[in-house]
Structure 1
Amino acid sequence: MTTSFLPESPPAAEVPTAAPDGRTTVLIGTDTYPPDVNGAAYFTARLARGLVARGVRVHVVCASPNGRPHVVERDGVVEHRLRSMSSLVHESVRLAVPVGVRGHLDRLLERLRPDAVHIQNHFLIGRVLAGAARAHGIPVVATNHFMPENLFDYVHVPAPLRPHAARLAWRDLGAVLSRVDHVTTPTPAAARLLWEQGFGRPVEPVSCGIDLVRFRPAPENAEGRRRIRAGLGVPDRTTMLFVGRLDEEKRADELIRAVARTSGEVQLVLAGHGAHRTRLEELAVAEGVADRVVFLGFVSHEDLPNVYRAADVFTIAGIAELQSIATLEAMASGLPVVAADAMALPHLVEVGVNGYLYRPGSPEELAARVDEVVADESRRRAMGARSREMSLPHRLEHSLARFERIYREAAAEGVAPPVGGFSHRR
């Protein structure tokens, strides 16, 4: 995927309409899409490009990254970029300007007549698009990537108010999901979470999927690993790795505190950027491990596989992971995993076989588990091999095929009547 925009497309009237050749057409609506940096944005882009490779006509409606509305085709995906404004709460996220969105979506649906609409968020674009699609008699598929914890830090919700804010957020999500025809989420744990919050509709777990060709183990060669580390500017020593945003819910502070408590000269590599980077750098100094914490910042799509190959163990402390694509990529790359025992992460760890779980909030336990993994190189390799095996069912092609079938099934079944949202189960 390129980072620069292609020339703007012809006026709206010349945008291709419904396919006359029998190919499936889907309109994906999302409030976050590259160049936004987050799991939902990356998943949506992979889904769109992957569907195009399978012969599906794909249109995406999302916010413009530079404010001005335009249409552009990239990697075979037609992007309809809506006029946007700063979100004010996150430097890299822009929001569609609400005025005129419904009318624009009505006209877009009338021209495209997609077989199905697939919304990735329940905020402005997803919410309005779901309502517009139903009005046009077009079935709606929704994938939930949301947990309230993902927003608390950005919108500065005080800790005492978070339980109440979470209840309101779940209720709002339920109001949107109650009006769609098929609901998916990445894992059985994420589906169970919706049920626990009182959502009574069926929810299908469909993995986000990963590219098992791009992310694969490097040959076990010490010299090769040294070269990879040197290319990234990483010292050649035992490495625990985290890939993701450096924001509150990722709890990277636990990883830094764990480094200070490991028994050997273990270093931590953090690949990603976020609002908490400065305070994490300060924490590394306070813990006396500034020389053993490497901040790589944003890593390009091309370089990311080598980041995993530079590591000995993948560590993740987040407690709001509905799947964790980064953990799956690490596993596909042949890394053992030490993860917080929270949300969907336990589904990715066979304790003592491909890694370990630790109690969230216990950097001492995290450090002990890292030490246990790296103490025996042959065992570490065996754990990494098992991680690779466990990643195989998450092949991206399987996920793409299932979503394509969902669109066709939804189109054949037509639009279902709305049902109730979340009950007050909790």
Structure 2
Amino acid sequence: MTTSFLPEPPPAAEVRTAAAGHRTTVLIGTDTYPPDVNGAAYFTARLARGLVRRGVAVHVVCASPDGRPHVVERGGVVEHRLRSMSSLVHDSVRLALPLGVRGHLDRLLERLRPDAVHIQNHFLIGRMLASAARAHGVPVVATNHFMPENLFDYVHVPGSLRPYAARMAWRDLGAVLSRVDHVTTPTPAAARLLWEQGFTRPVEPVSCGIDLARFRPVEGGEEQRERIRARLGVPDRTTVVFVGRLDEEKRADELIRAVARTEADVQLVLAGHGAYRRRLEDLAASEGVADRVVFLGFVAHEDLPDVYRAADVFAIAGIAELQSIATLEAMASGLPVVAADAMALPHLVEEGANGFLYPPGSPEALAARLDEVVADEARRRAMGAHSREMASAHRLEDSLARFERIYREAAAEGVSLPVGGFAVSR
């Protein structure tokens, strides 16, 4: 007798028809998905919902937010939530329990017969789904959002062991990605990073994309900005904003130290929550700027565009960003950007045109750049307009269209299946 630890997947919502009228079906596998709060989760949700708008049948396999396995449809996306447990290292991320998952994935693939599988992580669900898809002759697309530096703080890897742990993590990632049919990353810098770590397969940069209609500059001038600030509980003064998790790798402490060193009378608004909030509050007090640092906490989805519209400039200090969706949102909202000169952030900054880069770890340099941006209102507005223009090269619809083509191309090419030690085409 077999005990089922997971709900049986429902029958496919559509009937597969002849090629001329075929509706593309994709099964997305991810270890993190909303209500998880992180860039990979948000990207995956936007991808899934955007594909549905384009007529794609989308199913997502992910961990249950409350531990209970279930299937639910939200916004046209069918979510197959797997039994889960706390990750113990992050309060908003849960881990799927491996027991019974492979059999569930096999049944799901049999019922849906997707054109492609798209994995967003290489940890538990992505790894198992990629293996199951290969066994079923379904092509696998993988998008890499991972850098070891974004994980070390959560799992408390000692500094002395991090270089060794990073090599192991990259090797493991490469082993998983080497067995898929198509690999994407958000930026050329992220693709180059994979190659530098020894990955030899082609890697295609595909931007995470940004909704230019949702994120747009404030309308109604300074009066409207004042009303938005009042609604958010933000004092009406020149505002630097950062949107993201308040965790160690985001280095928001650098932003606070910079505000304490600016010559201009600016305030810092931090939108997001995380394990480091209390430390950051203490730091603001010790730096003497507690009255100039506003902690908004978690911001609801519908309010997020107004957080950018309440600001005059966006600042980001992280050094492990493979693209930075928040920076794209700020640019689309017409904000100048001051960013750490690290990883993929330089791709989003044209020095002196839409903002500035600064050497990571130097709050003094960051403060000087912020002063330069806010000193000249006309220049600041011109920088913001150029940010908006640059963001237009990252239209969400363009990214969705490319992923849809990737699925179709992968399905048309087929996959090589190991049979008795030989490879045959599907």
- Equivalent-residue separation in structure 2 for 1:94 and 1:228 (angstroms): 35
Distance of 1:17 and 1:50 partners within structure 2: 18
Three-state SS of the structure 2 residue aligned to 1:153 is helix
Matched AA of 2:341? D
Aligned to 1:73: 73
Residues 17, 105 of structure 1: alpha-carbon distance in 2 compared, 3 angstrom cutoff: farther
The separation in 2 between residues aligned to 1:345 and 1:283, in whole angstroms, is 25
- State the match for 1:160 in structure 2: 160
Contact 1:105 1:129 in 2 (8 A): yes
Give the conservation status (yes or no) of the 8 Å contact 1:358–1:369: yes
**Once the 2 structures are TM-superposed, how far is the Cα of residue 417 of structure 1 from its aligned partner?**
6.5
In the TM superposition, what are the counterparts of 1:8-407 in structure 2 within 5 Å?
12-16=9-13, 19-20=16-17, 21-219=21-219, 221-407=221-407
Contact 1:18–1:111 at 8 Å: present in 2 too?
no
- Give the TM-score normalised by the residue count of structure 1: 0.94
Q: Deviations over 1:104-156 (max 9, x none)?
A: 10111011100000000000000000000000000000000000011000000
2 CA distance for matches of 1:363 and 1:296? 22
Q: Distance in 2 between matches of 1:255 and 1:123?
A: 32
Deviations along 1:186-206, whole A, 9 cap, x unmatched? 000000000111100000000
TM-score by length of 2: 0.94
Q: Distance in 2 between matches of 1:14 and 1:206?
A: 32
8 Å CA contact 1:185–1:203 kept in 2: the answer is yes
- Is this contact kept in 2: 1:30–1:62, CA < 8 A? yes
Tell me which residue corresponds to 2:3: none
Distance 1:18 1:130, change over 3 A: farther
Shift of residue 351 of structure 1? 0.5
* Partners of 2:10 and 2:410 in 1: CA distance: 27
Offset of 1:15 from its aligned partner? 4.8
Q: Aligned-pair RMSD on alpha carbons?
A: 1.2
Residue 81 of structure 1: SS of its match in structure 2?
A: strand
Report which stretch shifted further, 226-235 or 216-225.
216-225
* 1:19 positional shift: 3.1
What 5-or-longer segments of structure 2 have no aligned partner? Answer: 1-6, 419-426
Task: Give 1:12 shift.
Answer: 3.2
- The amino acid that maps onto 2:36 is D
SS in 1 for 2:301: coil
What per-residue deviation string (whole Å, max 9, x for no partner) do you get for residues 61-85 of structure 1?
Answer: 0000010100001000000000000
d(CA) in 1 for partners of 2:192, 2:15: 37
Aligned with 1:214: secondary structure? coil
State the distance in 1 between where 2:31 and 2:280 align.
28
CA deviations over 1:32-70 (Å, ceiling 9, x no partner): 000000000000000000000000000000000010100
SS at match of 1:260: helix
AA of the residue aligned to 1:208:
C
Aligned mates of 1:399, 1:14 — CA distance in 2: 29
Distance 1:394 1:86 in 2: 35
Q: Report the residue type matching 1:301 in the other structure.
A: H
Cα distance between partner residues in 2 of 1:255 and 1:284: 10
- Measure, in 1, the Cα distance between the counterparts of 2:361 and 2:15: 52
Deviation, structure 1 residue 221: 1.5
The C-alpha deviation readout for 1:78-105, integer Å capped at 9, x for no partner, is 0000000000001111000011111110
- Residues 9 and 107 in structure 2, CA contact (< 8 A), matched pair in contact too: no
Q: Which amino acid aligns with 2:265?
A: E
Tell me the SS of whatever aligns to 1:88. coil
Q: Which residue of 1 aligns with 2:4?
A: none
Work out whether residues 52 and 76 of structure 2, in 8 Å CA contact, stay in contact via their aligned partners in 1.
Answer: yes
2:8 & 2:61 partners in 1: Cα distance? 16
Residues in 2 aligned to 1:232 and 1:57: alpha-carbon distance in whole angstroms: 38
Dislocated runs of 4+, deviation >6 Å: none
The CA deviation string for residues 228-287 of structure 1, in whole angstroms up to 9 with x for no partner, is: 000000000010000000111100000000010000211000000011111011100110
Partner of 1:242: helix, strand, or coil? strand
For the residues of structure 2 that align with 1:87 and 1:101, how far apart are their CA atoms?
17
For residues 193 and 417 of structure 1, the distance between their equivalents in structure 2, rounded to whole angstroms, comes to 29
Return the alpha-carbon distance in structure 2 between the equivalents of residues 412 and 264 of structure 1: 58
> Does the aligned pair in 2 maintain the 1:19–1:25 contact within 8 Å?
no
- The amino acid of 1:321's aligned partner reads E
State how far apart, in whole Å, the 2-side matches of 1:12 and 1:172 are: 30
